[in-house]
């Protein structure tokens, strides 16, 4: 039995915003590694245009994705892609605070700062309305237990005003998702997940049950491609690469799974996008999840 994971395989965010399940993450456009040197701007613009050519119609970004020396993901997306092709969905996230010279976000914006951050994304991307805005509470390792209602209500208000089409949540617990859903619909969740790590399967199950998109961050491990014998074995059987199996495995896991691998490399982009055509078998999946 095979599980087809082709580029024509779509998901309707919020029930009405259709995206291909193989998308693109923009965090690595300014720099490929956290704290690393900036990428060549022309190469990053080329990566973006090629991603769209290859069928990526779901780009994940944030105003706080920039290199301290200046290059920023939102600016690159606008420069490379505007006027935007019909159907291109740009998702962004708000919550983290990052000053211009900081290597990483250093904290959270106050609730009162969320409107300005949404307006900043609108301005930087050159759009009248944002397709999908995730609230991203907490730090990278912060426990997922803080109430998010006050901040989510502000985003829900901006949605009512028409500045945002759909809302999402990133780096949240099931309790935080439930809290947010008492305020407004949640179209997508973006938590950390890769096929080699069983964490967050409970959240994935909730998303699958309720038709919420699940667009994991660090789908390729985030800090280096995972060295995993199961993935290597499946890759060898298919004549595929390890990153391709990591991505095809994700897509095969659930119909609500949306891949947003990040790269600043044209060669890695080609490799990652080709993973959408890699059909894994049920036996492959069982081996990957063993």
Ligand X SMILES: NC(=O)c1ccc[n+]([C@@H]2O[C@H](COP(=O)([O-])OP(=O)(O)OC[C@H]3O[C@@H](n4cnc5c(N)ncnc54)[C@H](OP(=O)(O)O)[C@@H]3O)[C@@H](O)[C@H]2O)c1
> Which residues here bind ligand X, judged by CB under 6 A?
25-28, 32-33, 60, 93, 136, 170-171, 190, 217-222, 225, 243, 260-265, 268, 271-272
The catalytic residues are 65
Q: Which two tokens stand for residue 98?
A: 């990052």
Q: What burial class does residue 38 get, using C-beta atoms within 10 Å of its C-beta: 0-12 exposed, 13-18 middle, 19+ buried? A: middle
Contacting residues for 182 by C-beta, under 8 A, at least 6 apart: 149
- Do the strands 10-13 and 17-20 form a parallel or antiparallel pair, or are they unpaired? antiparallel
Q: Quick one: 121 or 272, whose CB is closer to ligand X? A: 272
Least Å distance, CB 203 to ligand X, is 13
Least Å distance, CB 1 to ligand X, is 27
Q: Quick one: 215 or 252, whose CB is closer to ligand X? A: 215
d(CA 74, CA 263): 15
- Give the distance from CA 79 to its chain's centroid: 20
- Do the strands 130-135 and 164-170 form a parallel or antiparallel pair, or are they unpaired? parallel
Q: Quick one: 17 or 273, whose CB is closer to ligand X? A: 273
Give long-range contacts, CB 8 A cutoff, 24+ apart: 158-162: 158/114, 158/115, 158/118, 158/133, 159/184, 162/129
Least Å distance, CB 227 to ligand X, is 12
Q: Quick one: 63 or 260, whose CB is closer to ligand X? A: 260
């Amino acid at each position: 039995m095979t599980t087809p994971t082709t580029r024509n395989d779509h998901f309707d965010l919020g029930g009405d915003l259709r995206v291909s399940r193989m998308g693109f993450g923009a965090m690595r456009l300014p720099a490929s590694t956290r704290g690393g040197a900036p990428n060549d701007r022309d190469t990053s613009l080329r990566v973006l245009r090629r991603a769209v050519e290859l069928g990526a119609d779901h780009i994940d970004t944030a105003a706080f994705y920039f290199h301290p020396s200046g290059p920023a993901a939102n600016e690159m997306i606008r420069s490379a892609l505007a006027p935007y092709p019909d159907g291109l969905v740009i998702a962004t996230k708000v919550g983290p605070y990052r000053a211009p010279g900081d290597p990483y976000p250093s904290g959270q914006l106050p609730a009162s700062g969320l409107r300005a951050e949404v307006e900043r994304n609108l301005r930087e991307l050159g759009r009248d309305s944002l397709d999908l805005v995730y609230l991203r509470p907490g730090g990278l390792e912060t426990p997922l237990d803080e109430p998010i209602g006050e901040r989510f209500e502000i985003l829900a208000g901006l949605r009512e005003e028409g500045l945002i089409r759909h809302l999402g949540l990133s780096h949240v617990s099931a309790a935080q998702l439930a809290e947010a859903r008492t305020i407004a619909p949640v179209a997508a969740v973006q938590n950390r997940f890769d096929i080699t790590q069983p964490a967050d399967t409970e959240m994935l199950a909730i998303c699958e049950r309720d038709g919420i998109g699940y667009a994991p961050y660090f789908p390729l491990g985030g800090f280096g491609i995972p060295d995993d014998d199961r993935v290597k074995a499946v890759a060898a059987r298919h004549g595929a690469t390890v990153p391709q199996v990591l991505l095809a495995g994700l897509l095969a896991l659930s119909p609500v799974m949306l891949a947003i691998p990040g790269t600043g490399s044209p060669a890695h982009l080609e490799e990652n996008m080709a993973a959408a055509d890699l059909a894994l078998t049920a036996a492959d999946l069982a081996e990957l999840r063993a």
